[in-house]
Chain A
């Protein structure tokens, strides 16, 4: 395991776990601790009569602990990993005790069973009937949404910011009833337009156009390519079975985890991991939804290299993926980026040719210089071309400190003329910002 303490802390489910984990990264708290091959284990003194048994599969970043916490990883798992990153000398190098062996054995057994698992026969007729019924519902919902949008346009969007909450909420709920959750989210985004900001009209109209394109795409789905059909259905809200995806062939490569961004909506935290393939040059975005109180099954450390097989969702522009299998790599690998912003703009234009919906994309650009211009922060390439850094980016001075006025190789994500820095190569090592 070659994670840094920062990377381990990035795995914590919340701030309090980080704090508790750091407190438990104390040799005095551990009755025993050891490591062997990919396993890391320890017994931690707790409030119970027996110490908690904590075990970690460092290759898969899987945790198990006998404590009653529902958080994942729990503070003991974090504490043990932090302690290991700080000081490996106290960890015995030997085959672990029975409880560690049993857990590792069980994990191997489960993995084998999964691999050998034969799918149950599916009642295709019933499945087709259910799908047909759903399409009927969605079609009806889509027609209502179209009518609602036309009403807005006929009357003008000038008074839209004054619309009551129910105006949006009723249509959003209607889309949920029509089993079109994707459309419901798009209505929600219309409501979330930053009406207090200058230029909200463009943002609102863009979103209206995106919805219209999707509705038209759905209406004429038979005329689209299979990949585009998948895109339209996914955006409408038809989910793709992860088991089906896992049975599909994936892209095997060494991947750099460029960054993890998190957003919270109610009880759901959405983690968005951006990855870049070392050999394929492909970018991937892995989404992970965590409902409060549930176990987080996706643990990728930003800045780390992994060897993984990713399966991409069917799309004309494959980006979203699931991780079929992965193991940690213990070395830095070379990543080649594009040279200029014009390369980025060209790639984005080509993407728009195939995929008319607005979507963020990640890039590695070989040499970008952060600078201030007209009270805004920008990234300048070697041809004096500039793209804007979004105003919510808070590490601009950190970026400037690393740069010193000279260009940096940088990973960014964004669209149109605005790109968010994710990380830079500093002294030949990738660090997230």
Chain B
């Protein structure tokens, strides 16, 4: 309204400098306006305030909405999947309140399995969580429905809903590239190595070390050439890691060299009932040439054989001798240094486990836990296999076992497993804190709640720490229980 704007202009400069404008006054205000300005008993400031009061009331009383005919608003397409049920919606309310990503992931997995989509009241909240946490994006994509795609067309923060994200190798951060290589190397090792080679020369030492570390859990025969080349790097850290890797890949020249030596030390008697183990002159000569000191006393030679055996893939030896692993170990058991050699083979199996050895492992090394059994046994058999190891609560074994059960074991723990794991983790609060339990929540059975209340670590500080963690864990499990119940309705 121009009249009001004129009044604002007057107010800006002051009534002492600018007269009150009587132009552009709406006709409805004209008479009252004139009356005010002609009232000589009022000073200029009060005249201004009265005129402004009239104008303001007129302006505000006449506010009309903005009329716009042609603003295009698209309608969201209808959904093809049903929304998850009311109980699951309630459960999701609490999950979003708690802001525990692991529980949200659990909810989303259940929703996806139920072939349902996120209720609309929570859609914006979940899409925001997906924006923050890349790890749940694929699940959000699977459960968000058509409404989310419609929203993502307008909100770029949620564009991850529209398509699978691909990280460009050249533009990605180091962390992203490490994650990408680790994932790709597990599935397609050749492609991962090609990708690494494409930019390897331009990487700094730290990046090279981190990228090389990404191969750690999935070393493969096709890595040998690349890792061997890494031995020529300037960085000491990179070179040491490359050397360590080459001693873990059966087909690497280093290991093949050891295999060629050790196989010369093992011979079977002609009837196949006895095994002879000794350093041959040829092997001694080869060891000396590599700079090894070899005792002249044959009694000391078994130490050298033990060292070689520890670095030899056991499957190479059984193949060379053309005996089954079980037969090989039976023969070694009859040898004078059987315990030393058996221990060496057991240690070698930590690095060079081979599926063909599983029967021999179960028979001859029942006290040693092998993660690889998970791929060989069915679930009940594996559960029966792992439980005694958990029950032993051995300080040396438990960290590895707990890590395996939390990160690798793909199922929810049984009640007995959970009790044993919590018995250990509750005593080690520093390492197994609330985030640990939150991340492992899909593995921890909700039925453990009463057991958690019984756990009382002995030392005072640990007890106090555990009490706090236990309350949070119980709360998480009660949420999980609600999610389970909701999706079973």
Contact = CB atoms under 8 A, between A and B. Distances in A.
B222 to A, nearest CB: 47
Given A86-B478, A401-B124, 7 more contacts: A5-B93, A86-B482, A154-B45, A208-B49, A384-B71, A385-B64, A395-B124
B394 interface: no
B46 interface: yes
Interface of A: 4-6, 9, 22-23, 25-29, 86-87, 149-150, 153-158, 201-202, 204-206, 208-209, 212-213, 341-342, 344-345, 348-349, 352-353, 356, 358, 369, 371-373, 378, 380-381, 383-388, 395, 397-398, 400-402, 404-406, 415-417, 426, 431
Contact of A358 (B60, B69, B453): B60
B13 A158 contact: yes
Nearest to B45: A150
Given A5-B97, A153-B14, A384-B67, A401 B147 contact: yes
Interface in B80-125: 90, 93-94, 97-98, 120-121, 123-125
Given A6-B93, A23-B475, A404-B76, A156 B65 contact: no
Contact of B8 (A150, A201, A383): A201
A281 B113 CA distance: 46
B121 A345 contact: no
Nearest to B63: A416
Q: How large is the interface on B (under 10, 10 to 19, 20 to 34, 35 or more residues)?
A: 35 or more
A348 B63 CA distance: 9
Nearest to B77: A404
A153 B15 contact: yes
B151 A400 contact: yes
14 contacts: A23-B475, A87-B478, A149-B45, A150-B43, A153-B11, A204-B11, A342-B65, A353-B61, A378-B66, A380-B71, A383-B67, A400-B151, A401-B123, A417-B63
Interface stretch (B50-58, B189-197, B201-209): B50-58
Given A345-B65, A352-B57, A402-B121, A26 B14 contact: no
A90 B76 CA distance: 43
Contact of A426 (B7, B43, B121, B471): B121
Contacts of B67: 383-386
Contacts of B93: 4-6
Contact of A155 (B16, B49, B155): B16
A371 B125 CA distance: 19
B393 interface: no
B52 A385 contact: no
Contacts of B17: 156
Given A352-B61, A402-B121, A213 B97 contact: no
A36 to B, nearest CB: 24
B154 interface: yes
A388 B63 CA distance: 12
B474 interface: yes
A135 to B, nearest CB: 22
B125 A150 contact: no
A395 B49 CA distance: 39
Contacts of A380: 68, 71, 73
A59 B44 CA distance: 59
B49 A416 contact: no
Contacts of B452: 28
B147 A26 contact: no
Contacts of A406: 75-76
Contact of A209 (B13, B52, B148): B52
B427 interface: no
Give the 8 A-B residue pairs with the shortest CB-CB distance, closest first: A156-B14, A404-B76, A385-B65, A341-B65, A352-B61, A150-B45, A398-B124, A405-B75
B91 to A, nearest CB: 10
A92 to B, nearest CB: 19
A404 B75 contact: yes
B248 to A, nearest CB: 46
A160 B449 CA distance: 64
Nearest to A372: B154
Nearest to A26: B474
B66 A386 contact: yes
A159 to B, nearest CB: 9
A388 B17 CA distance: 37
A428 to B, nearest CB: 13
A4 B94 CA distance: 10
Nearest to B64: A345
A373 B71 CA distance: 7
